[in-house]
Each structure stands twice: as C-alpha cells, then as structure tokens.
C-alpha cells in the first residue's frame, strides 16, 4: 500500500512539523531529566542513561547508585487487629511457629549431632524478622513514653492490657533471636538508646596478625588524609591483641582499643574471624559508623562517605566486589528465593541473578547509619550468629561479605550501593617482580624507576617460567580499588604491595587504575585486562602523592617491627611524575 502518495502534501508537511515538535520536546525533556548539564554520560547495564556528575553538581542518586527499594505492598505494618489475633488459638500457633527452636529434633541420623538447623531455618527467620520489625516500630511509642518517665525498666513488666499480648510476643521474639543483646540489656530498645548522640566514627577489628596493616591504616587516617573521626579498635580477648599493640594504637588521639568479650556475651556467639565485624558495629557507641578492614587505605578523608547521596537517602554506603567466577558457588538466585518471600528491586540487578559473578559486595568498608538501620543491624548480626554463620551464611557466601545486604532484604530496610564495581589500582603491565625467584638486580632496577623488560624467570622447583610472555601492557595489576559515586578512586584494599600473600613482594607504584566494567579479571595475578584500548586510567598526580605517603607510612611501620625481611626488600619505589599511565592509552610508555 502506498499511503504516502494518497496524502496531500500540506498534510504531510503538517505531520512532519508535528514529528519535529515531538522530537524537540523529547530532547528537551531528555536533557532536563537525564543529562544534568553534563555531557559525560554512559548507558548503564539497566539500559538507562547514566550521568557522571561533576564535583559539587546536583546529581540523581538513581544514576550514581543502586538503591534497593521495596514495594510498599510487601511491607506489613503491625495493626490492632494483629494484637487482637494474638489472643486467639490461631494467633498463638503463629507465635509458637515463629519462636520455636530453630534446631532439628534429634533423630536416628543426627542423634549424636546437636544444633543442626532446620532446613527452612532462614525462611522462618525472614518471617520472624519481618514480624519483629513491624512489632518493634509499633511498640516504640510505648517504650519512648516509659523512657521519658524514667520507667523503661517496666517495659515487659506491666504493659497496658490493650497491648499486653503484643509486648509479650515482642519479648518472645527477642529472646528467640537476640539473646546476646538481652544478656546486657532488658530490651533491644535499651541498646538502641545507647546510640543516642553517639556521633560519627570508625570501627576496626584487629588481631595481632593484622596489627601491622592496621598500624599503617591508622597512620594514614591521622597523618596522610588527616581524618579526625574517632576510632574504636575491637579485638577478641586478652591474647588477640598484645598490650604493646594496644598501646601503639592508643597513643593516637581519639583511638581506643576495646576487648569485645568484655562488652558482649561471647559464650553465645563465640567470635572468631569475620563474625566480629557486625557485632563490633552493634556494640559501638557511634551512631553513624564506617566499618573498615585493617588493610583498607583511603585516598580522601573517609568523612566524605557521610556526604554520599545514597547514604543521605537511605543510610548505607555499600561497595561492590570484583566480577569473578560466574556460575560458581551454586545458584544464588534459587538460594535467595528459598528464604525471601519477597525482595526489593535490587537482587534482580545483581550479578548473582544474572549469572555474571559469584561475588556481590565488598565489606572492606561498610557505612551504616545505626539510627536508621538498628533493626537491619540486628538482622545482619543474626545471620553472623554462631549456628547461622557456620551452617548457612559462610557456607553459601564468602564470610560476612554478603550478609549486610542479604539481612536488609530479610528485614526489608532500604540500602544503597555505589554503582561502580571493584576495580584495580597499581601499575600498567604485569611484570612487576614479586615472586621470590626473581633476581635481586631486576628488583633493584625496578626500584630505581626503570621499565622492566621481559624476563620470565625460571622457578627452580618446577623448572618452568613463572610468568606468561610479555609485559602485557593491556592490563593494570595491583590492589583492589573502590570508587566514589563520581567513579573516582576513593580507597583500596589488600595492602600496599604487589601481593600481600607473597613474602618480599615489593611496593606498588600507584600510577594507573581500571574499572571492573572496562575489562576482565585475571584473578590469579590480580590484574584487570582491558576490553578495549583506552580503558587504563592514570591516577591523578595529587592521589599518586597520597598513595606515595601511604607507602611511606607502611615502610615506617615495617621498620618498627625490626624484621630483616621487611628492611631488605621493601625499599620505596621512586615517585616520578612522568611515570603515569599517559592518559589512559594502555600504552607501552607506561609503568
């Protein structure tokens, strides 16, 4: 059919004009709603235009962050009807179901094994946490009223009859779920009260093994980026951190060390390893907390995290981990669906759900407003509790890492991730010597600022070359980098040397970085290989100077330890301005 020819030309002109007008309106709207006056934009994986805001510019957090938001119809508030229902046999069955023992009854198969969680424990726990959240918020007014009269001790003793069944249910839920709170406080509300006027601060968990990293981290906070935030350092029992280490930290103003076993009932949770982190957050008096690992180093004062738009909106700053091992570690989507009857809009965007990677969150730095996420934090602690972590959380995921956002899904509190995934910072090329077999002359030449030629040293044990061919200038190798909301380097972890697990591994030169989104990880060598030329970025000179001071701080700490290994090999590489990545061309002038 030839419709066009049948239409008079005046009508066609009018139609064309209308199309132009519609297009003009579209572009005006698009530029107003999307581009924010910045031409620096890209299309993100959700298919949306993402603007990269400039310093100080207004920006739309839905482009710079992933904000988890729940459908209001999935969130059930507590009602008077619910309280009335508790007086019925059906209501009592619900109470019974939500508060009964989480452990399997002994059977022929497990008669000798105690404390085996029921298969559907996390599903029950989710339901319990959601009811607890609704009830807690509904009863808070009663607690606040008692508290004003100085009568909060009476919360469970003599509640008014119209809310008595609800108060009783709340107590049962607390007893079943948070015994480690109740061994020090009458109710969870009492613990919540302790955060009042707690201010902002940093929480670190440090044992003797990590004390060397932590000393560098504290030096960097106080002497390099000049953070004034108070710091609490938690350790687990007298032997976990020596008096010498404790004294070293405490010589800094506003740095305290605290034995967590003196402030929480450790018989119940038996802390060790990662699990201390969420409990330290819970115990801390700070109301707004940056939880940081001892090997995390900042390029800006960490205070900036409290100004993050996602933090202001929902009270968390979470960082993504690297994109690694797609399809490994079992189907996490099926797992999450097994215990979350409803979820926010976030999980469907994750690499887990799209079979792109086995890691989501990096918990080296976690920012939490405890006044907005008290119940969320209780939920996070719960899935790091003794049996939950041993039998579920740490089996399904890597340590505490994913527990932060998963627990917030369980208890339905909004959270926010900075959109960029874990990248890399270090040197262009992978020939930086770090294997023990490398000849000393080559290390010396590197320290003098010379580029390295290909050597591929022979490993005497295997008689094979230790590295692949070439210096591989298509990649950046080094530590794991994390970005601020503008996509600029903010902090890195895994130490300050090429490979913190190899002894005598030399310091990195922090000249180049790359985003996870722009390349593919070579996990074994800790490199990102660029997908397209131009993905390698040069670290700004001001940040290279800060990174250099971080290395100097680390060197001072290493010398304090008086171990020959540190002294002999860990000379600091020269800081040479011309040695950057040359504007990110991924070129051979770099290194």
Min dist. Cβ of residue 512 to ligand NAG (A): 21
Report DSSP state, residue 571: P
301 or 457: whose CB is closer to ligand NAG?
301
Per-residue CA distances from 264 to 52, 369, 372, 456 (Å): 44, 21, 22, 52
Min dist. Cβ of residue 545 to ligand NAG (A): 9
Closest CA to 180 of 378, 403, 399, 412: 378
88 or 226: whose CB is closer to ligand NAG?
226
Strand boundaries in 159-215, DSSP class E: 200-205
Instruction: Quickly tell me which residue has 């032997």 as its tokens.
Output: 239
How far apart CA 551 and CA 509 sit, in angstroms, is 9
How far apart CA 472 and CA 469 sit, in angstroms, is 8
Q: At what angle do helices 541-561 and 211-219 cross, to 10 degrees?
A: 140
225 or 290: whose CB is closer to ligand NAG?
225
Min dist. Cβ of residue 293 to ligand NAG (A): 21
Q: At residue 530, what are phi and psi to the nearest 5 degrees?
A: -70, 145
**The two three-digit tokens of residue 20, written as one number:** 């132009």
Q: Which residue has the closest beta carbon to ligand NAG?
A: 226
Closest CA to 487 of 418, 566, 414, 578: 418
Q: Which residues bind ligand NAG (CB under 6 A)?
A: 225-226
139 or 546: whose CB is closer to ligand NAG?
546
Min dist. Cβ of residue 225 to ligand NAG (A): 5
**The two three-digit tokens of residue 94, written as one number:** 């619900």
Min dist. Cβ of residue 491 to ligand NAG (A): 14
Closest CA to 279 of 176, 396, 380: 380
What's the sign of the alpha-carbon dihedral 512, 518, 523, 525? Answer: negative
Min dist. Cβ of residue 254 to ligand NAG (A): 16
Min dist. Cβ of residue 199 to ligand NAG (A): 22
258 or 553: whose CB is closer to ligand NAG?
553
List of long-range contacts for 436-445, beta carbons under 8 Å, 24+ apart: 436/502, 436/503, 436/504, 437/466, 438/466, 443/506, 443/569
**The two three-digit tokens of residue 85, written as one number:** 């229902």
How far apart CA 303 and CA 292 sit, in angstroms, is 13
If residue 552 lies in a helix (H) or strand (E), which one and from where to where?
Answer: helix 541-561
Q: Are 498 and 432 in contact (CB under 8 A)?
A: yes
337 or 556: whose CB is closer to ligand NAG?
556
Residue 363, SS3 per DSSP: strand
How far apart CA 509 and CA 521 sit, in angstroms, is 20
Bridge partners (DSSP) of residue 42 are: 50
How far apart CA 253 and CA 362 sit, in angstroms, is 29
Min dist. Cβ of residue 546 to ligand NAG (A): 6
Report DSSP state, residue 540: P
Min dist. Cβ of residue 226 to ligand NAG (A): 4
**The two three-digit tokens of residue 41, written as one number:** 């934009």
Min dist. Cβ of residue 496 to ligand NAG (A): 17
73 or 577: whose CB is closer to ligand NAG?
577
225 or 473: whose CB is closer to ligand NAG?
225
Min dist. Cβ of residue 552 to ligand NAG (A): 12
Min dist. Cβ of residue 309 to ligand NAG (A): 23
Min dist. Cβ of residue 489 to ligand NAG (A): 14
How far apart CA 16 and CA 21 sit, in angstroms, is 9
C-alpha torsion 14→18→21→26, nearest 10: -160
226 or 503: whose CB is closer to ligand NAG?
226
Residues 6+ apart with CB under 8 A from 403: 278, 380, 383, 384, 389, 393, 397
What is the β-pairing status of strands 475-483 and 489-493?
antiparallel
Phi and psi based region of residue 588 (left: phi greater than 0; alpha: psi -120 to 50; beta: remaining): alpha
48 or 226: whose CB is closer to ligand NAG?
226
149 or 253: whose CB is closer to ligand NAG?
253
375 or 547: whose CB is closer to ligand NAG?
547
296 or 314: whose CB is closer to ligand NAG?
296
Per-residue CA distances from 504 to 164, 202, 309 (Å): 65, 31, 41
Q: How many CB atoms lie within 10 A of CB 178?
A: 22
126 or 227: whose CB is closer to ligand NAG?
227
Min dist. Cβ of residue 200 to ligand NAG (A): 19
Residue 470, SS3 per DSSP: coil
**The two three-digit tokens of residue 151, written as one number:** 């009568």
484 or 505: whose CB is closer to ligand NAG?
484
Min dist. Cβ of residue 311 to ligand NAG (A): 22
């Amino acid at each position: 059919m030839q419709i066009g020819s049948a239409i008079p030309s005046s009508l066609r002109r009018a139609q064309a004009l209308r199309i132009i007008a519609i297009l003009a309106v579209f572009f005006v709207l698009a530029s107003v709603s999307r581009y924010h006056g910045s031409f620096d934009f890209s299309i993100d994986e959700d298919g949306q235009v993402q603007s990269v805001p400039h310093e100080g510019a207004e920006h739309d957090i839905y482009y710079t962050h992933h904000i988890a938001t729940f459908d209001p119809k999935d969130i059930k508030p507590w009602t008077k009807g619910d309280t009335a229902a508790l007086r019925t046999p059906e209501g009592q069955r619900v109470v019974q179901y939500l508060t009964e023992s989480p452990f399997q009854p002994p059977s022929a198969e497990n008669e000798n094994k105690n404390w085996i969680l029921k298969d559907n424990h996390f599903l029950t726990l989710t339901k319990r946490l959601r009811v607890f959240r609704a009830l807690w918020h509904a009863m808070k007014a009663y607690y606040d009223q008692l508290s004003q009269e100085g009568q909060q001790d009476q919360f469970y003793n003599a509640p008014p009859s119209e809310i008595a069944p609800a108060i009783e249910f709340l107590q049962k839920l607390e007893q079943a779920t948070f015994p480690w709170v109740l061994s020090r406080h009458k109710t969870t509300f009492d613990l919540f009260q302790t955060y009042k006027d707690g201010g902002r601060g940093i929480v670190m968990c440090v044992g003797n093994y990590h004390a060397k990293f932590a000393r560098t981290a504290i030096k960097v906070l106080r002497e390099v980026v000049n953070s004034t935030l108070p710091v609490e350092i938690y350790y687990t029992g007298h032997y976990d951190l020596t008096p010498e280490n404790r004294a070293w930290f405490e010589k800094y103003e506003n740095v305290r060390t605290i034995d967590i076993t003196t402030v929480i009932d450790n018989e119940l949770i038996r802390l060790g390893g990662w699990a201390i982190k969420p409990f330290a957050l819970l115990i801390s008096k700070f109301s707004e907390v940056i939880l940081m690992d001892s090997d995390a180093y900042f390029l800006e004062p960490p205070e900036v995290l409290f100004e993050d738009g996602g933090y202001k909106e929902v009270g968390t700053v979470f960082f993504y981990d690297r994109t690694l091992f797609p399809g490994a570690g079992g189907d996490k989507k099926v797992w999450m669906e097994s215990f979350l009857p409803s979820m926010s809009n976030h999980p469907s965007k994750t690499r887990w759900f799209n079979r792109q990677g086995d890691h989501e969150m990096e918990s080296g730095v976690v920012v939490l407003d405890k006044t907005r996420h008290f119940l969320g934090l209780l939920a996070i602690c719960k899935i790091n509790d003794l049996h939950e972590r041993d039998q579920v959380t740490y089996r399904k995921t890597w340590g505490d890492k994913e527990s932060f956002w998963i627990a917030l899904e369980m208890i339905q509190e909004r959270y926010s991730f900075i959109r960029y995934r874990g990248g890399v910072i270090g040197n262009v090329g992978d020939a930086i010597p770090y294997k023990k077999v490398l000849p000393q002359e080559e290390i010396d030449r590197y320290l003098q600022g010379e580029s390295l030629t290909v050597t591929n040293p022979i490993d005497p044990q295997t008689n094979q070359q230790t590295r692949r061919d070439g210096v591989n200038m298509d990649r950046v190798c080094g530590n794991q980098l994390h970005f601020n909301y503008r996509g600029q380097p903010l902090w890195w972890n895994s130490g300050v040397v090429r490979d913190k697990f190899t002894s005598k591994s030399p310091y990195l030169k922090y000249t180049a970085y790359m985003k996870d989104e722009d390349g593919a990880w070579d996990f074994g060598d800790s490199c990102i290989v660029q997908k397209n030329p131009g993905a390698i970025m040069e670290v700004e000179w001001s940040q290279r100077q800060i990174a250099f001071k971080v290395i100097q701080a680390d060197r001072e700490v290493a010398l304090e330890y008086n171990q020959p290994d540190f002294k002999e090999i860990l000379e600091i590489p020269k800081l040479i301005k011309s040695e950057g990545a040359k504007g990110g061309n991924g070129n051979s002038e770099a290194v």
